Each structure stands twice: as structure tokens, then as C-alpha cells.
């Protein structure tokens, strides 16, 4: 098992960072790192979405690209791991399934689902939302430009994390306009995006310059 062993007799504390990660950026990594430190997590598993149904208004990059970028971004941290549960499950991705699958795979672990302020505000629209709370402790983290609400629940924790005004949308737009994403995403992810020409406008054969 990756991650760190807990003290004898204590349950493994497993953070779960779900996201589309198109691409993964330093805002995701800082949020996970801060929650891990404050909640004494043994491991944080990053779970790239398969079909993120609330992002169906835009084209999402193939899951394998998003998965591999997540592996590259987390590789240097011994407490960070990546799970394929959401990308290997056919159909739309719902957190209720993510948490059930992780509970089945890691019955020894106590789960902490990490979510940014924007996603937190959307939870009321998530599938089977009333059943989520029994499966994991939810930790809402601050994000520049969004107000963090606790949904009126005592069992949800709120945490201020270092402010990283970065979004995947902004990273994609920067690449599309030939602007740098160095230091917004990990170096290996910059290279991966360039190597696979992700987020570049598609040029048809007819548009080859003279």
C-alpha cells in the first residue's frame, strides 16, 4: 500500500480529492496538501472523473490524458495516490459511486472528501446527496472568487487553504492562446500538454499556412 502507515490501533485516514483535472493544477495540489496536514491524513487519493455530467456543456479531454496528468502531478509526493475507479466505471460519474467503491476497496479507512468552495455550493444538486454524509467526512476548502458555505451541517468542516487563483479553464485558455502555464501546473504536466498538443485549437488540413 502506498501512503503512510497510521499509528497502531488508529484507522487509516484517507483523503479523497475528486476532480475533472483537465488539467490538474497547483490549486488542487495545495488544497490536498493543506487538508492532509490539518486533518492528519495518511494518504490523499486523487480521483479523476470519468464522465463529469455537470461539465457536459463543454468538451472534456479523454480520461486517459487526465488520469496520466494526475499521475505525473502527484508522483513526487509519497502520500498522494491516484485511483481509476471513476474512469473505469462506465457512465456518468457520481460521488456516491466513488465513495462506495473506495469504501469497498479500502474498508479499513476513514474517508475525507475534499471539495473546493464552488463544488461545495453545487452539492445540493448531486446524486443521492442525502446519503453522501454517511460515507465520508466532507471538507470544504476556500477558493479565490467563491464563497465557502457549510450547507448548514455540523458534520462538514471548512478550511482556509493558501489562495491559489488558478482554474483548469484558465490553464486551457492560456495554452490555446500560446500563453505559458509554467508554475500554474507542475512541470511534467506542462510537458505532457505540449507533447500531446492538448488544448490547442484544431487546425484542419485546409488551413496549412503557405
Ligand X SMILES: Nc1ncnc2c1ncn2[C@@H]1O[C@H](COP(=O)(O)OP(=O)(O)OP(=O)(O)O)[C@@H](O)[C@H]1O
Ligand Y SMILES: O=C(O)c1ccc[n+]([C@@H]2O[C@H](COP(=O)([O-])O)[C@@H](O)[C@H]2O)c1
Q: Which residues bind ligand X (CB under 6 A)?
A: 19-22, 27-28, 31, 115-116, 118-119, 141, 143, 164, 166-169
Q: Of 44-52, 104-112, 158-166, 183-191, which segment contacts ligand Y by CB under 6 A?
A: 44-52
**Angle, helices 63-74/187-195, rounded to nearest 10 degrees:** 150
Q: Of 68-76, 87-95, 139-147, 194-202, which segment contacts ligand Y by CB under 6 A?
A: 87-95
Question: How far apart (Å, rounded) are the C-alpha atoms in residues 194 and 163?
Answer: 27
C-alpha neighbours within 13 Å on the C-beta side of residue 196: 15
Question: Pick from ligand X, ligand Y, none: which does 93 bind, CB < 5 to 8 A by kind?
Answer: ligand Y
Q: Rank residues 10 and 200 by Cβ distance to ligand X and give the closer one.
A: 200
Residue 83 in contact with ligand Y, rule: CB under 6 A: no
Are the C-beta atoms of residues 73 and 185 closer than 8 Å to each other? yes
The grid coordinates listed for 20 are 475533472
Dump the DSSP string for 146-163.
Answer: B----TT-TTEEEE----
Question: Pick from ligand X, ligand Y, none: which does 54 bind, CB < 5 to 8 A by kind?
Answer: ligand Y
The grid coordinates listed for 105 are 476497496
Question: Pick from ligand X, ligand Y, none: which does 27 bind, CB < 5 to 8 A by kind?
Answer: ligand X
What are the two backbone dihedrals, phi and then psi, of residue 24, each rounded to the nearest 5 degrees? -65, 140
Are the C-beta atoms of residues 67 and 87 closer than 8 Å to each other? yes
Name which of residues 89 to 108 contact ligand Y (CB under 6 A): 93-96
User: Which one of residues 3, 15, 19, 23 is an interface residue with ligand Y (CB under 6 A)?
Assistant: 19
Q: How many residues bind ligand Y (CB under 6 A)?
A: 15
Question: Pick from ligand X, ligand Y, none: which does 28 bind, CB < 5 to 8 A by kind?
Answer: ligand X
Q: Residue of minimal CB distance from ligand X? A: 116
Amino acid at each position: 500500500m502506498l501512503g503512510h502507515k497510521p499509528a497502531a490501533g488508529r484507522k487509516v485516514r484517507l483523503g479523497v480529492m475528486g476532480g475533472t483535472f483537465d488539467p490538474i493544477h497547483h490549486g488542487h495540489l495545495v488544497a490536498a496538501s493543506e487538508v492532509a496536514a490539518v486533518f492528519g491524513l495518511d494518504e490523499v487519493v486523487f480521483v479523476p472523473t470519468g464522465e463529469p455530467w455537470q461539465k457536459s456543456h463543454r468538451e472534456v479531454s479523454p480520461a486517459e490524458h487526465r488520469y496520466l496528468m494526475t499521475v505525473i502531478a502527484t508522483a513526487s509526493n509519497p502520500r498522494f495516490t491516484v485511483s481509476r475507479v471513476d474512469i473505469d466505471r462506465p457512465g456518468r460519474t457520481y460521488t456516491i459511486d466513488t465513495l462506495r467503491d473506495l469504501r469497498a476497496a479500502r474498508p479499513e479507512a476513514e474517508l475525507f472528501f475534499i471539495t473546493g468552495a464552488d463544488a461545495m455550493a453545487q452539492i445540493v444538486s448531486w446524486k443521492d446527496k442525502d446519503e453522501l454524509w454517511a460515507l465520508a467526512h466532507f471538507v470544504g476548502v476556500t477558493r479565490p472568487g467563491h464563497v465557502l458555505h457549510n450547507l448548514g451541517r455540523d458534520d462538514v468542516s471548512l478550511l482556509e487553504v493558501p489562495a491559489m487563483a488558478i482554474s483548469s479553464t484558465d490553464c486551457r485558455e492560456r495554452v490555446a492562446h500560446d500563453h505559458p502555464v509554467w508554475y500554474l501546473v507542475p512541470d511534467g504536466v506542462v510537458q505532457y500538454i505540449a507533447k500531446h498538443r492538448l488544448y490547442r485549437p484544431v487546425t484542419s488540413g485546409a488551413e496549412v499556412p503557405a
